[in-house]
Amino acid sequence: TWPKTYSYAGSFPEGFVWGVGTAAYQVEGAYNEDGRGASIWDTFTGANTLGMPGANCSYCCQSAPCTPNKNMVGKGATGNVATNSYHMFRTDIALMKSMGLKHYRFSISWPRIFPTGSATGEPNPEAVKWYDTFIDELLAAGMEPYVTLYHWDLPQALLSPPELGAWWARDKDGKPVGQILPNWKHYVDTCFRLFGDRVKVWVTFNEAWSCTKLASGSGKAPGIPPFMNPAVDPYIAGHNILNAHAAAVDIYRRKYQTSQKGRIGITNNQDWREPKTDSVEDVAAAERAVLFQLGWFSEPIFGAGDYPQEMKDIFAALGTALPEFSEAEKALLKGSADFFGLNHYGTGWFAATKEPGWDMTYGTSSEEGFVQGQSTWLYGAGWGLRKLLNWVKRRYNNPEIYVTESGWSVAAQTAEEAANDTQRVMYFANYTSEVLSAILEDGVDVRGYFAWSLLDNFEWEMGYPIRFGTTFVDYDLGLDPNAPLPNSQVPTPGFQLRRRKDSSCFLEQVWRSN
């Protein structure tokens, strides 16, 4: 259980940004409506995409009916319906308003805007109309949009056939090639042009680490041959994603920033890794754990414009040297963010090993003594976030940090049990009080904190039984709060009941009183 020792050492700075977040594929549903194209997550989950723009079953299930990728744990779960937020967006906005919220982080679905990921031409007008309406109503309700451009729902057409490669594309010498760049640039340029008059904060990519490293067989899409070598493929995809991030920021700064007066950055993710002992070896291994994940995607942008030297050295010694940036690419990458977006969930120990391991760090994690969440990978301690914030401050010269995600999964058997989420209340109490200490005592420049998530939703390869919401979602409209939850992997189309949990009410007190 959580220590009950948290206390708030004062107030958060005036104007501190409190919010909640979601992502398009996890909440929207309406997967085949208004001209939406197929995404790699429709393919990965085994959704029936036949007839949808860009659909291609030739390398997933070979034929209808579609079958989920073998790394999809929650068989049968898809984003087809999810929390039905595409239709219930007014309910979501009213819910957030009732919580006293002023900031909402969500993502735009690329395959809605460009169903086949086109590099030219006009966007899908129905999708543009939907996001226009949503943004207008959000603003009218007094909330500011924080918009992620890529939260993993890549248009399937850009990866069909797989040889196209999308982020995973490389030339015959194995060097990354940005052949997806024209498509990406056209998409982001279109979003800035159409929504940038009202959207003032943009996040290019959500967790490049998760959608590259975990996409080679650890549960994230596409998870298909020939992209399954975790020692090589994530680093190709990561390289192309970093260049795509820099290209998006360049477009925004050259064409839009002066007139639209918004800001743009990227969200990277890291759970804290505490040295298991105070031996020199374990301390160095724990440092590598953070450098080889957070540093991989932060050093090129917030550091010297290139991968961390320690990472380059180890990869070279292992004979799988990291891809190299040209001088022009380095120049575009360096400084290509107006703020540091950070997703953080938990903490574990880290100890040195003799073998390089899956992440090439010559280290391994363990979790004795930490509180465990519902997710297999989730263990927590509020002080881990404080240490991580200090790490970012030290390494990247005190950037403006927005914690763009932080949250806790809790299992529930009934709606009543889901709503009494004491574990999640304790998580947010411990974590937000440590953020306050980082600001007041350590001088870390934290500007905002977004709880993950507004709603229980489609938790990627795990499907629906894993619940991260501060609001409970009844996917099957069981009106008796004490009835056992089917914890179904297949939400019933239609009305998805929402009910605020204790954590939502606790957070409301925190952000109303600051």
At residue 182, what is the residue type? P
Q: Of these, 32, 84, 156, 206, which contacts ligand PNW (CB under 6 A)? A: 206
Kindly write down the DSSP assignment for every residue of 136-170, as one continuous string.
HHHHHTT-EEEEEEESS--BGGGGSSGGG-GGG-B
Which residue carries 């299992």 as its tokens?
411
Q: Which helix (H) or strand (E) holds 233?
A: helix 233-251
| 377 near ligand PNW, judged by CB under 6 A | yes
Annotated active-site residue in 28, 207, 459, 461: 207
| 452 near ligand PNW, judged by CB under 6 A | yes
207 is catalytic: yes
137 is catalytic: no
Minimal distance, residue 26 CB to ligand PNW, in Å: 6
Q: Of these, 269, 432, 437, 504, which contacts ligand PNW (CB under 6 A)? A: 269
What x/- string results for residues 401 through 430 when contact with ligand PNW is judged by CB under 6 A?
----x-------------------------
Which residue carries 């650890």 as its tokens?
218
Minimal distance, residue 199 CB to ligand PNW, in Å: 19
| 210 near ligand PNW, judged by CB under 6 A | yes
At residue 24, what is the residue type? A
Q: Of these, 184, 345, 450, 472, which contacts ligand PNW (CB under 6 A)? A: 345
Question: For residue 145, what are the β-bridge partners?
Answer: 104
| 365 near ligand PNW, judged by CB under 6 A | no
Given the rule CB under 6 A, which of 9-17, 74-82, 202-210, 275-283 is the region that contacts ligand PNW?
A: 202-210
170-209 core/surface letters (b: 16 or more CB in 10 A; e: else): beeeeebebbbbebbbbbbbbbbebbbebbebbbbbbbbb
Q: Could you tell me which residues come within 8 angstroms of residue 122 by beta carbon, excluding any fewer than 6 positions away?
A: none
Using Cβ positions, the residue closest to ligand PNW within the complex turns out to be 377
Q: By C-beta, is 23 or 439 nearer to ligand PNW?
A: 23
Residue 107 Cα distances to 44, 166, 361, angstroms: 19, 20, 32
Cis peptide before 65 (omega within 30 of 0): yes
Distance of CA 479 to the CA centre of its chain: 32
Minimal distance, residue 405 CB to ligand PNW, in Å: 6
Classify burial at 369, counting beta carbons within 10 Å of its beta carbon; exposed 0-12, middle 13-18, buried 19 or more: exposed
Minimal distance, residue 142 CB to ligand PNW, in Å: 25
Kindly write down the DSSP assignment for every residue of 156-214, as one continuous string.
GGGGSSGGG-GGG-B-TTS-B--TTHHHHHHHHHHHHHHHTTT--EEEEEE-HHHHHGG
Q: By C-beta, is 256 or 379 nearer to ligand PNW?
A: 379
**Positions in 30-59 near ligand PNW (CB under 6 A):** none
| Residue 210 tokens, joined | 């998760």
| Cα torsion 39, 46, 469, 365: sign | negative
| 343 near ligand PNW, judged by CB under 6 A | yes
Q: Of these, 2, 12, 18, 23, which contacts ligand PNW (CB under 6 A)? A: 23
Minimal distance, residue 206 CB to ligand PNW, in Å: 5
Size of the site for ligand PNW (CB under 6 A): 14
Q: By C-beta, is 271 or 474 nearer to ligand PNW?
A: 271
Annotated active-site residue in 329, 405, 434, 459: 405
Q: Of these, 28, 42, 144, 207, which contacts ligand PNW (CB under 6 A)? A: 207
Interacting residue ranges for ligand PNW, rule: CB under 6 A: 23, 26, 206-207, 210, 269, 271, 343, 345, 377, 405, 452, 459, 468
Query: What amino acid positions are annotated as catalytic residues?
Result: 207, 405
